[in-house]
Amino acid sequence: MTRSKVGANDVDALTDAVLTASRLLVAVSARSLAATEETLTLPQFRMLVVLDSRGTMKLSSLAELLDVNPSTVTRMVDRLVATGMIARQANPATRREVVTELTDEGRRVVRSVTRRRRAAIGRIVAKMPERERRGLVEALSAFTEAGSEPAVTAADLGWI
């Protein structure tokens, strides 16, 4: 399917296909997360991934990126500080705001879960016929760019 031929019905079909694929990806994520010795929810893991990919952040910015209330972020941060995966401190620039950052332990968990997810997704992709894989990188890259998700890099996997 070329971009010039995408119409309203194609958008509906693509939306349904992405929704179905997202169920598979959530299942892969949940299994990868469950394989760690840590007790984390998917939203907590998402917070770790956001901090890993974007660096130190104010709580308000983190709440906005996660599309949750600031009070929800505060509770999540409290739990993750207690596990040693996130550090919280006063913003050195203003001292009135609180910023959070990933600790080495948080980074280790993100790398471990991401490696498991990558391996599981690789097994699924390998089962696809080669002709079906063509164009998938471009389509998924466009999809993640439209959703403002930073691309996974070798650094995300702890390879550099």
How confident is the model over 131-144, as a mean pLDDT?
Answer: 85
DSSP 103-147: -HHHHHHHHHHHHHHHHHHHHHHHHS-HHHHTTHHHHHHHHHHHT
Q: Is the pLDDT of residue 142 over 90?
A: no
Which tens digit of pLDDT belongs to each residue from 117-130?
A: 999 999 999 999 88
Poorest-pLDDT segment among 13-17, 23-27, 61-65: 13-17
Q: Is the pLDDT of residue 156 over 90?
A: no
Which tens digit of pLDDT belongs to each residue from 92-106?
A: 778 788 899 999 999
- Which phi and psi angles does 26 have, rounded to 5°? -65, -40
32 CB neighbour count, 10 Å cutoff: 20
Q: Is the pLDDT of residue 78 over 70?
A: yes
Q: Is the pLDDT of residue 6 over 60?
A: no
Confidence of residue 153 (pLDDT cuts 50, 70, 90): low
Tokens 């939306």 -> residue: 15
| pLDDT recorded at residue 63 | 94
Poorest-pLDDT segment among 64-73, 80-89, 102-111, 135-144: 135-144
Q: Is the pLDDT of residue 157 over 60?
A: no
Q: What domains appear along the chain, each with residue ranges and CATH number? A: 7-149 (1.10.10.10)
Share of the chain above pLDDT 70, in %: 89
Q: Is the pLDDT of residue 7 over 90?
A: no
Q: Is the pLDDT of residue 116 over 50?
A: yes
Helix, strand counts (H, E) of the chain: 7, 3
